[in-house]
Chain A
């Protein structure tokens, strides 16, 4: 069954393939793990398709920084509901490395996390298929924010915008 995901606030059918799925679809864009990439980058480049890489929570964004222009997609894996390193990975990719490609949250991703994930810079989300229709509401959980961020276009209070006291 094709995988559906939420990308740029649209439900889409994923055109990307992970390696385990790729044999039947040689022309599809491919997502490899960081270990797979480091082992034989030329093999993957030789496919001639867009390449994406998935970071596990313990990986550092610095590990792909030098080759970042190769990747059209970076995915951060959330290994469980309490995992939080992906939020930092996302902000670093967007802010320090100016990554503009698809930034995908994968693994344990549920609608209650989407708001913060989107604010950190993720723009695509692999949700359980049963959750995907309702997940839209998450992006409008809050209509304002306190901190500067990368996405959702929210007005935020903390950059010179603390309002004056009422008298």
Chain B
């Protein structure tokens, strides 16, 4: 993985000093609430329902074991013993004390981490495929490019006061595991007409109040021009994005109002002025960056079937919680943070410490955070999967549900977030209570459920196969349900099935939707495909056919 050089170290230390000074000025009264807000937001610090919330950047979801131990230590020493992993591969702490945040940042700086640009109207953490570098169908490892973009966007002097936040996702495989079509900009590594590597560039995707799928701005960009092209997009957005209305300020609204043709024309015109500036990425630079992401020292192994002859519980886990690796004899192992009864995406300090140890012993000392709020050990020898499983199971980290109904993506909701209308964590629990039969869950197969506590859509409900949105009705929590959304390369927005339902009826409503699926699916057909084939109508009819007992 990337390691800081002296410049990176200097910059992060200087950021800590800057933020310490700003915090002290605020606490002394030299900065007003509003002035401090703009400064702290650029450092990942929100003031939430109970306390400040600190979001720490995990660039493209990649962590060393040492970094994860520091995240555990922060949870233990400054918070209440846990952290929450997010859909953008970051971690959030819900209980830090404002005056001690500079100390947290100092501890993070020691392990080459920070909270720079994890909130505020600037370029946010770059996210990517959690299977980068190991997935068999990959065109090229996107991580060197993620790091190049990370550096370019960090403290970018021109783009620190954008109309609104700006999120970039990069993928290097045909299958999109980074939800890049619902990002402000999606960067896809592709091969050009002559087989050369370059990028497809999309813009204008996003969720929130106005969900939109991103559109192609440029079909093929030669790779040395990536940064100047991004700079052109950002410049057009900075000048022309709306600043008069917060809910219309994202780039998706600009792209929609100009139309993709006109937006492209403006970007291309700007790019002509920028393409020969100092932002060209040359081959030597790329090679240097790639060398940080060289494959680890894999052993020469053969593929084996470690689940043969093992107990059912291991076999289920191996089937659902591990995935293919391009190197024979290896497997990528998901660590489910979706144990029933635990808020989705949460991990305790002890769990983080254990996972760090397991990473050292089983996976070359690295851990990845997935967009679906789980963790991943990317490089596990198949032969050692059984040992690993036993250790994970002992810590409540082996729930065999990756990609199934109970692998729910979920925002922190009403319990922590001052924006939320709904207790999304509690609804996740109700769904888990209702669907506790694994035979049934496995029979349903691949279904992704995403839940957001409010219109800001941090839980990406629009692109869930089943989406659940918390709405406020006269002070009560109600839930709007959508079906047919998808976040991958075939991304689509879900359709609302009908009127929202009270909390007590969410699980029953979902069960009814699933009944329709089980009755009407073709052999091997996924829930998503059945919805696409049948449309919303039969699902809607069943969901509202009979009153649900309170």
Closest chain B CB from A30 CB (angstroms): 27
A165 with B239: CB separation less than 8 A = no
With an 8 A cutoff between CB atoms, is A74 at the interface?
no
Which one of A88, A112, A148 contacts B239 once the chains associate, using CB atoms below 8 Å?
A88
B238 with A165: CB separation less than 8 A = no
With an 8 A cutoff between CB atoms, is B542 at the interface?
no
Residues of A near B35 (CB, < 8 A) are: 81, 110, 112
B157 with A87: CB separation less than 8 A = yes
Q: Which of A19-27, A40-48, A156-164 contacts B (4 or more CB under 8 A)?
A: A156-164
- The B interface is mostly helix, strand or loop, or mixed, namely helix
A116 with B155: CB separation less than 8 A = yes
A159 with B289: CB separation less than 8 A = no
Residues of B near A119 (CB, < 8 A) are: 157
- Please provide the chain A residues from 74 to 121 with a CB less than 8 Å away from any CB of chain B in the complex: 81-85, 87-88, 91, 95-96, 110, 112-113, 115-117, 119-120
With an 8 A cutoff between CB atoms, is B11 at the interface?
yes
Residues of B near A82 (CB, < 8 A) are: 38, 121, 161, 243
A165 with B152: CB separation less than 8 A = no
A120 with B158: CB separation less than 8 A = yes
With an 8 A cutoff between CB atoms, is B323 at the interface?
no
Give A110 to B239 CA distance when docked, in angstroms: 21
Residues of B near A166 (CB, < 8 A) are: 3, 5
Chain A, 28-48, contact with B by CB distance < 8 Å: what is the 0/1 string? 000000000000000000000
Q: Which of B15, B161, B285 has the most CB of A within 10 A?
A: B161
With an 8 A cutoff between CB atoms, is A145 at the interface?
yes
Q: Which of B49-57, B274-282, B449-457, B476-484 contacts A (4 or more CB under 8 A)?
A: B274-282
- Please provide the chain A residues from 108 to 165 with a CB less than 8 Å away from any CB of chain B in the complex: 110, 112-113, 115-117, 119-120, 141-149, 155, 157-165
Closest chain B CB from A128 CB (angstroms): 11
A88 with B235: CB separation less than 8 A = yes
Give A142 to B157 CA distance when docked, in angstroms: 12
B291 with A91: CB separation less than 8 A = no
Residues of B near A147 (CB, < 8 A) are: 152, 156-157, 279
With an 8 A cutoff between CB atoms, is B48 at the interface?
no
Q: Which of A84, A113, A142, A162 has the most CB of B within 10 A?
A: A162
B239 with A158: CB separation less than 8 A = no
Give A60 to B162 CA distance when docked, in angstroms: 16
- Please provide the chain A residues from 55 to 80 with a CB less than 8 Å away from any CB of chain B in the complex: 57, 60
A141 with B277: CB separation less than 8 A = no
B227 with A158: CB separation less than 8 A = yes
Q: A144 and B157 in contact (CB under 8 A), knowing A88-B238, A162-B288? A: no
A91 with B158: CB separation less than 8 A = yes
Closest chain A CB from B47 CB (angstroms): 17
Residues of A near B162 (CB, < 8 A) are: 84
In this complex, how many residues of chain A approach chain B with their Cβ under 8 Å: the count is: 40
Q: A158 and B18 in contact (CB under 8 A), knowing A88-B235, A119-B157, A165-B3? A: no
With an 8 A cutoff between CB atoms, is B159 at the interface?
yes
Chain A minimum-CB-distance residue to B8: A157
With an 8 A cutoff between CB atoms, is B22 at the interface?
yes
Closest chain A CB from B443 CB (angstroms): 48
B14 with A141: CB separation less than 8 A = yes
Which one of A84, A85, A157 contacts B7 once the chains associate, using CB atoms below 8 Å?
A157
Which one of B155, B159, B239 contacts A146 once the chains associate, using CB atoms below 8 Å?
B155
Residues of B near A87 (CB, < 8 A) are: 157-161, 238
Which one of B6, B148, B160 contacts A116 once the chains associate, using CB atoms below 8 Å?
B160
Chain B minimum-CB-distance residue to A118: B157
Give A4 to B35 CA distance when docked, in angstroms: 22
With an 8 A cutoff between CB atoms, is B418 at the interface?
no
Chain A minimum-CB-distance residue to B277: A148
B161 with A160: CB separation less than 8 A = no
Closest chain A CB from B133 CB (angstroms): 16
19 contacts between A and B (CB under 8 A): A81-B35, A82-B161, A84-B159, A84-B238, A88-B238, A88-B239, A141-B14, A142-B14, A145-B157, A146-B152, A146-B154, A157-B7, A158-B227, A160-B282, A161-B285, A162-B289, A164-B288, A165-B288, A166-B3
Where the two chains meet, the residues of B that have a C-beta atom closer than 8 Å to any C-beta of A are 3, 5-7, 10-11, 14-15, 18, 22, 34-35, 38-39, 121, 148, 151-152, 154-163, 227, 235, 238-239, 243, 273, 277-280, 282, 284-285, 288-289, 291-292
Besides A83-B161, A148-B277, A162-B151, 6 other A-B contacts (C-beta < 8 A): A88-B235, A120-B157, A143-B14, A157-B151, A163-B6, A165-B292
Counting from the closest, the 3 A-B pairs by CB-CB distance are A84-B161, A148-B278, A119-B157
